[in-house]
Amino acid sequence: MTDNDGAIQSVLQEDRVFDPPADFIERCGGAWVESKEQYQTLHEQSIEDPEHFWGAVAEELHWFKKWDKVLEWECPDARWFVGGRINACWNCVDRHVENGFGDQTAIIWEGEPVGDAGPEVRRLTYADMQVEVSRFANALKKLGVQRGDIVTIYMGMVPELAIAVLACARIGAPHSVIFGGFSAQSIADRVTDAGSKFVITCDGAWRRGSVVELKANVDEALSMTDLVEQVVVVRRCENEIDMHAPRDVWWHDVVADVDDTCPCEEMDSEDMLFLLYTSGSTGKPKGIVHTTAGYLVHTFLTSRYTFNLRHHKNHVYWCTADVGWITGHSYIIYGIMQNGIPSLMYEGAPNHPGPDRFWDICQRHEVTHFYTAPTAIRAFMKWGEEHPRRHDLSKLEVLGTVGEPINPEAWMWYHRVIGHERCPIVDTWWQTETGGHMITPLPAATPTVPGSCTLPFLGIDAAVVDESGAEQPHGSGGLLVVRKPWPSMLRGIHGDRQRFIDTYFSRVDGMYFAGDSARRDERGYFWIMGRMDDVINVSGHRLGTMEVESALVSHDSVVEAAVVGMPHEIKGTGIAAFCTLSPDWSADDRLRDTLRAHVAEEIGAIAKPDMIRFTDALPKTRSGKIMRRLLRDVAAGREAGGDMTTLEDLSVLARLQDDED
Ligand code: PRX
């Protein structure tokens, strides 16, 4: 049924169970949820009366005006905290200053380059953030940004990125952050779809000792659209760039002569906080819409409970994701900062200048909470355990993973080598669309099993069902759905109501369909089996196979392309492309390289195929549909199996299986 169906079969045999360490609560000075029983009781109550549950959480935040009603739900439309007025930036920054915690660290930033004196480190307290964010918010206003304008952000991992995001929230301008690895074409597509007139970028970003030319990419993107009126540029790498007056202005210039106080806009609970583009099953990425209050409430609570974050406990929390993905939005900025915890941002690659860079960072900054992707863990395993072993990781309390299923071997390595067998691992299942954690262990309460994301978060009614919505018996695969609304759920796809309904609320009547298949074991634990649509998860990054296909066929040489996922030791899923060529081109390695570069140019380096196979025909049904199932078998080096009666020409498959890359 899915790419990793086979692997899951063996995973389900997993019977190692790890109870929360006996001394965990004592070591951490307490826990929000202390036992399995407490979790169960809270979960039952939260599902029975979600309005009461989420309303009580919302009381902890700052409101300009309290809501009249917790929830209005008419599938697929949810309105949370109806009538409330709130500001995200106030809750992440000003609230802590007002409460007397302005001198607490908000952001610890470390740059990638390591000079003789070590890496560059910047620390910003919550009071510093209040000033920096206010100044930049005033600068944005001076440049003409108004409440409701969508601001595009395409930056490296520098503190100004967090400042820019929060400044937008402060003045009620939704942000649309684009991951710095995306191409000029991808920027142009997103700017156009969002109708965005403002872009914030950097001259460049450091990555493995080289400069990624962010501003040059923006210039190229803006040659494809004339929507954008102003570009603000942060000087980071001091690489040579073109500044186009009057469109382009330097960040340091625009903040030079503005006031350092700026009021927070009183936003309606349901005003858009941000747009974030993600891949779906068609070629065009979709702009996922998140609104303000529900998103804040959900990310606040999940950050606190999933990681057991406690104020004033000398926490240093580090999520290694980029702010360009939902993980960075929710668990570097919004969720973590609402909890008043120092959030570490690291600019660069995990293996620069050496393979122990992450562990060096953990040691020097005394990291207590570490959140990363399984693909990174697999890379660390390959590089060898001597690298983490050289560093003191004794401050770690909780480890997390996100973005893709974690294989039990990687889980065990993480547990043993990084966690020294004393840190609970929280394997968090969620999505860009869900805004925050949905299925995850709670560190002091949930016994963990390697490879399972365990049980739904409080207030989350997740289930595995068949197409009719009936819950599947334990052990049987089915569709992963959420039966009741939750506060941080997406409110739509920007400009495409029908696609929103079709993608998430049509497969199973009245329920949110996540696009994943899953099973539950006899403990009720969830095992994610993989995507059921044409989305693949490459190194924890989500890509649509059709996006890659469109990029390939936009090259002159390619007549037809089919892209599928294939098993990959480090990336989890790699990209396999099958292409038929126009007769003027020869199928050789040079063309393979050209096509890889072309895909990077069209989408970004993360979308480069790992394998390109040229073929004279693709396996199709008699009605002309490409049989991807067979291509997945071929790409995985498996004997193609299953029903082949609909295959139009069996010899195509035989030729594909004989061919080598
Ligand atoms: O297939 C699931 C996988 O990542 C998809 C969501 O991708 P994205 O929107 O980019 O968000 C990633 C970060 C939240 C899901 O549909 N996925 C995410 N977390 C897990 C996972 N698969 C298995 N286990 C997880 N913990």
pLDDT tens-digit series, residues 187-202: 999 999 999 999 999 9
Q: Hey, is 279 helix, strand or coil?
A: coil
HEC string of 40-61 equals: HHHHHHHHHCHHHHHHHHHCCC
CA dist., res. 83 & res. 450, Å (int): 43
CA dist., res. 280 & res. 298, Å (int): 24
At residue 96, φ and ψ (nearest 5 deg) are -70, -35
Confidence at residue 6, expressed as pLDDT on a 0 to 100 scale: 43
Specify burial of residue 214 (Cβ count, 10 A radius: 0-12, 13-18, 19+): buried
Reported pTM: 0.95
Nearest CA to ligand 1 atom 2: 404
Q: What pairing do the DSSP bridges indicate for beta strands 85-86 and 105-115? A: unpaired
Confidence at residue 137, expressed as pLDDT on a 0 to 100 scale: 98
CA 587 to each of CA 60, 155, 264, 609: distance values in angstroms, whole numbers, following the listed order:
62, 38, 59, 16
Confidence at residue 8, expressed as pLDDT on a 0 to 100 scale: 47
Handedness of CA 492, 493, 498, 504 (dihedral sign): negative
Mean pLDDT of 449-475: 97
CA 99 to each of CA 26, 62, 171: distance values in angstroms, whole numbers, following the listed order:
27, 11, 22
Say what angle helices 184-194 and 589-602 make with each other, to 10 degrees: 30
CA 568 to each of CA 11, 144, 417: distance values in angstroms, whole numbers, following the listed order:
17, 47, 22
For residue 598, give both structure tokens.
């072309």
DSSP bridge partners of 121: 110
Q: How many CB atoms lie within 10 A of CB 327?
A: 23
Ligand 1 center to 116 CA (angstroms)? 39
Model pLDDT for residues 79-93, shown as the tens digit of each residue: 999 999 999 999 999
Amino acid at position 321, single letter = A
In the structure, what pLDDT confidence band is assigned to residue 12 with cuts at 50, 70 and 90?
low
Ligand 1 center to 65 CA (angstroms)? 35
Q: Hey, is 129 helix, strand or coil?
A: helix
Confidence at residue 126, expressed as pLDDT on a 0 to 100 scale: 98
Contacts of 130-133 spanning 24+ positions with Cβ under 8 A: 130/93, 130/94, 130/97, 130/102, 131/260, 132/159, 132/163, 133/89, 133/93, 133/163, 133/166, 133/167, 133/170, 133/262
Nearest CA to ligand 1 atom 5: 431
Say what angle helices 126-142 and 159-171 make with each other, to 10 degrees: 60
Residue with more model confidence, 645 or 129: 129
Ligand 1 center to 433 CA (angstroms)? 10
Mean pLDDT of 320-337: 98
Inter-residue contact 410 to 424 (CB < 8 Å): no
Residue owning tokens 């989890």: 572
pLDDT at 627 over 80: yes
The residue to mutate among 8, 427, 537, having the most atoms of ligand 1 within 8 angstroms of its beta carbon, is 537
pLDDT at 346 over 50: yes
At residue 351, φ and ψ (nearest 5 deg) are -120, 35
pLDDT at 4 over 60: no
Model pLDDT for residues 146-168, shown as the tens digit of each residue: 999 999 999 999 999 999 999 99
DSSP bridge partners of 347: none
Model pLDDT for residues 499-519, shown as the tens digit of each residue: 999 999 999 999 999 999 999
Say what angle helices 589-602 and 545-553 make with each other, to 10 degrees: 120
Specify burial of residue 490 (Cβ count, 10 A radius: 0-12, 13-18, 19+): buried
Inter-residue contact 414 to 388 (CB < 8 Å): no
Q: Hey, is 137 helix, strand or coil?
A: helix
Q: Helix H segments across 223-356?
A: 251-254, 293-306, 326-328, 335-338
Confidence at residue 13, expressed as pLDDT on a 0 to 100 scale: 64
DSSP codes joined into one string, 499-553: HHHHHHHTTTTTSEEEEEEEEE-TT--EEEEEESSSEEEETTEEEEHHHHHHHHH
Give the HSE-up count for residue 509: Cα atoms under 13 Å, Cβ half-sphere. 3
State the distance between the two ends of the chain, measured CA to CA, in whole angstroms. Answer: 25
pLDDT at 7 over 60: no
CA dist., res. 377 & res. 458, Å (int): 28
Nearest CA to ligand 1 atom 24: 405
Q: Hey, is 156 helix, strand or coil?
A: coil
At residue 377, φ and ψ (nearest 5 deg) are -60, -40
Ligand 1 binding site (Cβ under 6 Å of any ligand atom)? 278, 326-327, 402-405, 427-432, 453, 514-516, 528, 531, 537, 542
The residue to mutate among 431, 488, 545, 571, having the most atoms of ligand 1 within 8 angstroms of its beta carbon, is 431
CA dist., res. 402 & res. 11, Å (int): 18
Inter-residue contact 259 to 170 (CB < 8 Å): no
Find how far residue 321's CA is from the centre of its chain: 7
The residue to mutate among 288, 404, 452, 541, having the most atoms of ligand 1 within 8 angstroms of its beta carbon, is 404
Percent of the chain topping pLDDT 70: 98
Ligand 1 center to 8 CA (angstroms)? 16
Amino acid at position 142, single letter = K
Among 207, 179, 154, 287, smallest CA distance to 606 is for: 179
Confidence at residue 647, expressed as pLDDT on a 0 to 100 scale: 79
Ligand 1 center to 281 CA (angstroms)? 15
Ligand 1 center to 405 CA (angstroms)? 8
Model pLDDT for residues 599-620, shown as the tens digit of each residue: 999 999 999 999 999 999 999 8
For residue 387, give both structure tokens.
């690298």
In the structure, what pLDDT confidence band is assigned to residue 5 with cuts at 50, 70 and 90?
very low
Ligand 1 center to 4 CA (angstroms)? 14
Amino acid at position 74, single letter = E
Mean pLDDT of 97-103: 97
Model pLDDT for residues 213-244, shown as the tens digit of each residue: 999 999 999 999 999 999 999 999 999 999 99
Residue with more model confidence, 140 or 648: 140
Confidence at residue 283, expressed as pLDDT on a 0 to 100 scale: 73
Ligand 1 center to 328 CA (angstroms)? 13
